[in-house]
Chain A
């Protein structure tokens, strides 16, 4: 079974940055790939895939900046 990190990485590579060089700690903000629609896409994917609800106050650009930061967000919500 894929780890949470690899599941998130696969989504990022498929839907946001189609570049195999994207790694766990790549900052999407630094690449200019963070916008509200992409964040909503990530949030919708995570909520559907893991059957969770991400509270508004946790859905920040910083929380969605990298695979690592998204993994930390998920861990806070009990997804490991």
Chain B
């Protein structure tokens, strides 16, 4: 499906982007950018997004939110062939965001995640997808979280990881479960104990989920992402998984933001 070390090489995007069926584009968005970028992106946000940004008391948090959402609009506009500020979003009953389709525009599905100074935005036309990123950091209560949140096989797998690498394995597991949940539009629920992801690094794996609703959606692949030093990420990609799935990794801003 992909090379043996997927999700590691991020490149400047080409001038003209093509997103065909069978392709997923993942954008790595640098959130700590010069203030002129923030000023350029801020007017692209909807009134609702602006209200959410203004709720943040700390300038750095507010700027990162504006860049994440403004850059996502810029990115999506390249696929939708529309102005960034004209894109309208809707959310499902359980909070999954989606682009409101407009007449004549090709469909685009996306998922956005941010952690500290990086965000990931995954885009596809023909399948559901979810993405998650976490800054690698000490999580003092990770065992308690895992014991109450993860599936039994995942808890067992974490116990087998040596102490030095256990926290990273926990965060790897977390990003995979969250990416899958975001793809399904479920959020973090008690159902997390009922599906299983692999902790194996660097390889594409499949989610094990026997729930009838999940079975009806078809299988999901989990692609590990290496957004940069100190970060771990995951991309969940839904059916159809037949044939080659091509994943491109792009940087934002590129040399010409």
Q: Is A35 in the interface zone, CB < 8 Å from B?
A: yes
A44-B148, A45-B144 are known contacts. Are A37 and B56 too (CB-CB below 8 A)? no
Residue contact B149 to A32, C-beta cutoff 8 Å: no
Q: Is the CB of B57 within 8 A of A30?
A: yes
Nearest A residue to B147 via CB reads A44
Taking a contact as CB atoms under 8 Å apart, the answer to whether A44 and B144 are in contact is yes
Q: Is the CB of B149 within 8 A of A44?
A: yes
With a cutoff of 8 Å between Cβ atoms, the chain B residues found around residue A31 in the complex are 56-58, 61
Answer whether residue B154 sits at the interface, using C-beta atoms and an 8 A cutoff: no
Q: Taking each of A30, A40, A41, A43, which has the highest tally of chain B beta carbons within 10 Å of its own beta carbon?
A: A40
A32-B56, A36-B188 known; A45-B134 Cβ under 8 A: no
Closest-CB distance, A50 to chain B (whole angstroms): 13
Q: A36-B178, A40-B149 are in contact. Are A30 and B141 (CB under 8 A)?
A: no
Count of CB-CB pairs between chains A and B under 8 Å: 48
Question: Which residues from chain A contact B189 at a C-beta distance below 8 Å?
Answer: 56
Interface residue B115 (Cβ < 8 Å from any Cβ of A): yes
Binary flags per residue of A50-68, CB closer than 8 Å to B gives 1, else 0 = 0000001001000000000
Confirm or deny: A6 has a beta carbon within 8 angstroms of a beta carbon on chain B.
no
Binding site for B on A (CB under 8 A): 15, 29-32, 35-37, 39-41, 43-45, 47-48, 56, 59
Interface CB pairs A-B, < 8 A, 25: A30-B56, A30-B57, A31-B57, A31-B58, A32-B56, A32-B61, A32-B64, A35-B115, A36-B178, A37-B145, A37-B174, A39-B188, A40-B188, A41-B139, A41-B141, A41-B145, A44-B144, A44-B145, A44-B147, A44-B148, A44-B149, A48-B144, A48-B148, A56-B187, A59-B188
> Which B residues are within 8 Å of any A CB, using their own CB?
55-58, 60-61, 64-65, 115, 134, 139-141, 144-145, 147-149, 174, 178, 187-190
